[in-house]
Structure 1
Amino acid sequence: MPEPKVRKFVIISEEIHHEGGAPVDHPPRRAAILAVIENPFVGEYHQELTGFMEDLKPLGLEMSRRLIEHLGGASAVTSYGKGAIVGAAGELEHGALWHVPGGYAMRELLGEAKAIVPSSKKVGGLGARLDVPITHINASYVRSHFDAMEVGVPDAPRANEIVYALVMTTGGRVHARVGGLQASDIKGEDGLR
């Protein structure tokens, strides 16, 4: 397969000081990096797609490095997620190709994070938005880190493009108070608890 042809990268960043309660001393940040690429499968049905996952691995690593640097280093990152928006001439399966290159790149660069990387994907037109689910990097059951970040690019995806997204945060939800497993109680044995 050909090397992915990137039209643009976009970084979206938020710093959350409060959600109605008192401002916090250390506001968590959440950020997303999006790559708008040409979809090499547009125009006809392709039975074999998996080779493109290998071609996407360097892109996943580059995006992960940029996002980790943006958030202040791997030790600052506590949660993650990934997603894809496929242009109208593509198919949902073209977005699913991001599971391995996007997820494994983040896990590798974050020091072998244990939890599965949650994801979402859809087919959409210009300016389509996607809610990317987020969970703790080492234990999916940490409720304070159940979250999502809405992402999108105003001029993408064009019909022949795909937008691939990675999301990371430096903390859980501000004022989280719904109980459950606390980040301080993670055992780190199975990616769940």
Structure 2
Amino acid sequence: MADIKVRKFVTVVEEILHEGGPPAAVPPRRAVIAAVIENPFAGRYVEDIMSLMDDLKPLGIEMATRLVKALGGDAGVVEGYGKGAIVGEAGELEHGALWHNPGGYAMRELLGGAKAIVPSAKKVGGLGAKIDIPITHINASYVRSHFDAIEIGIGDAPRRDEMVLILAMTTGARVHARVGGLAKEDIKAGDGLR
């Protein structure tokens, strides 16, 4: 398969000082990176699409690296993550599903072997389509304080023959998290799905 053709990257970083409650001593940050790429399968049905998954691996590493850099450069501060894709109208949902492994494993590798499954969302959409990227704790999916999401949309993407591939990371819990459940301090080995 041909090289991945990236038209642009978009990175957004949010710093949440408060949501009406007391200001955070250390404001959590949420960041999202999107790569707008050409969809090599747009406009036609292709039975065997698996080769694109391997082709996307270097892009996953590059995006995860850029995302950590946007959060200050220290992978050790990342506590939450998620991924997603928006497929242009000439593509199909399954093309976005190809991002699961390259996006998820890139972040898990860069974050030192994070244990939890990387939550995901995908859809088919037109120019300016937005998507909410779900976020959970990197080592235990059931840490309620880290259940979060970040919305992203790009005004001129995806074009009909493009895909927007997305990674998200956070540096902590929701700013005023107080709904109980498993605390990050109580995560034990094997809690990746708890």
Q: TM-score range by the shorter chain?
A: over 0.9
The code of the aligned residue for 1:55 comes to D
Structure 1 CA distance for aligned equivalents of residues 95 and 12 of structure 2: 23
The code of the aligned residue for 1:161 comes to E
1:86 positional shift? 0.3
Matched, 1:63 2:63: yes
* 8 Å Cα contact 1:60/1:105 also seen in 2: yes
Matched, 1:6 2:13: no
The residue aligned with 1:137 is 138
Unaligned segments of structure 1, at least 5 residues: none
> 1:27-66 residue pairs with structure 2 within 5 A?
27-66=27-66
The residue aligned with 1:128 is 129
SS in structure 2 at match of 1:191: helix
The code of the aligned residue for 1:112 comes to G
Matched, 1:160 2:161: yes
Matched, 1:88 2:89: yes
Unaligned segments of structure 2, at least 5 residues: none
Structure 1 CA distance for aligned equivalents of residues 189 and 121 of structure 2: 24
Structure 1 CA distance for aligned equivalents of residues 138 and 41 of structure 2: 32
Structure 2 CA distance for aligned equivalents of residues 138 and 43 of structure 1: 39
Aligned-residue CA RMSD in angstroms?
0.7
Q: Please report the TM-score for the alignment, with normalisation by the length of structure 1.
A: 0.98
The code of the aligned residue for 1:33 comes to I
The code of the aligned residue for 1:24 comes to A
The residue aligned with 1:176 is 177
1:152 positional shift? 1.3
The code of the aligned residue for 2:146 comes to H
The residue aligned with 1:117 is 118
Structure 2 CA distance for aligned equivalents of residues 58 and 16 of structure 1: 31
The code of the aligned residue for 1:114 comes to K
Structure 2 CA distance for aligned equivalents of residues 5 and 171 of structure 1: 33
Structure 2 CA distance for aligned equivalents of residues 192 and 39 of structure 1: 32
Structure 2 CA distance for aligned equivalents of residues 2 and 52 of structure 1: 9
SS in structure 2 at match of 1:37: strand
The code of the aligned residue for 1:95 comes to G
Aligned residues: 193
Structure 1 CA distance for aligned equivalents of residues 93 and 58 of structure 2: 22
Structure 1 CA distance for aligned equivalents of residues 177 and 157 of structure 2: 33
1:192 positional shift? 2.1
The code of the aligned residue for 1:45 comes to Y
Structure 2 CA distance for aligned equivalents of residues 112 and 79 of structure 1: 13
SS in structure 1 at match of 2:64: helix
Identity percentage of aligned residues: 70
Q: Which runs of 4+ in 1 moved over 3 A?
A: none
